[in-house]
Amino acid sequence: MSTNAESGTPPAREPEAEPTAGREPEHAPAKHAPVKRPKPDALVRSRTGYTWMALLAAAIFGIILLIFILQNLDKVQVTLLFWSFSLPLGIMVLLSVILGALVMGLVGGIRILQLRHAARQP
């Protein structure tokens, strides 16, 4: 124990802080790290968001297609080899586009199979 050099009396004690039951002192650091929130980009770019956007685009495309067909109801005579039939112009254009997409998918699928087969060869 140290004494005061001039008077020979022990130094005065600082008053003890009141006990705080279960409370942390205000100046103490937090026990838990702050919760990190995801960036807004992570919330916007999700599979659900992309699916919703694709569905919206398909709906808009369908409405435009319906308007095209309704505005082109003039009958068109089509002859292919020994078949002959007439359909509205809008439906005929739609069928032509669908048939072209199917042919393109068939040719592309055959090419993919050829490349896979070639990649497996030693």
**CA-CA distance, 59 to 19, in Å (whole number)?**
68
This prediction's pTM:
0.50
The DSSP-derived string for 40-86 is: HHHHHSSHHHHHHHHHHHHHHHHHHHHHHHHH---EEEEEETTEEEE
Q: What is the model's pLDDT at position 107? A: 94
Query: CB–CB of 26/20 below 8 Å?
Result: no
Please give the average per-residue pLDDT across 14-41, as a whole number.
62
CB 112 within 8 A of CB 120: no
Beta bridge partners of 77: 86
Q: Residue 115 — very low, low, confident or very high, per pLDDT cuts 50/70/90?
A: very high
Give pLDDT tens digits for 6-23: 556 666 666 565 555 555
**pLDDT tens profile 46-100:** 778 888 899 999 999 989 988 988 998 899 998 888 889 899 998 888 889 999 9
What letter represents residue 58's amino acid? Answer: A
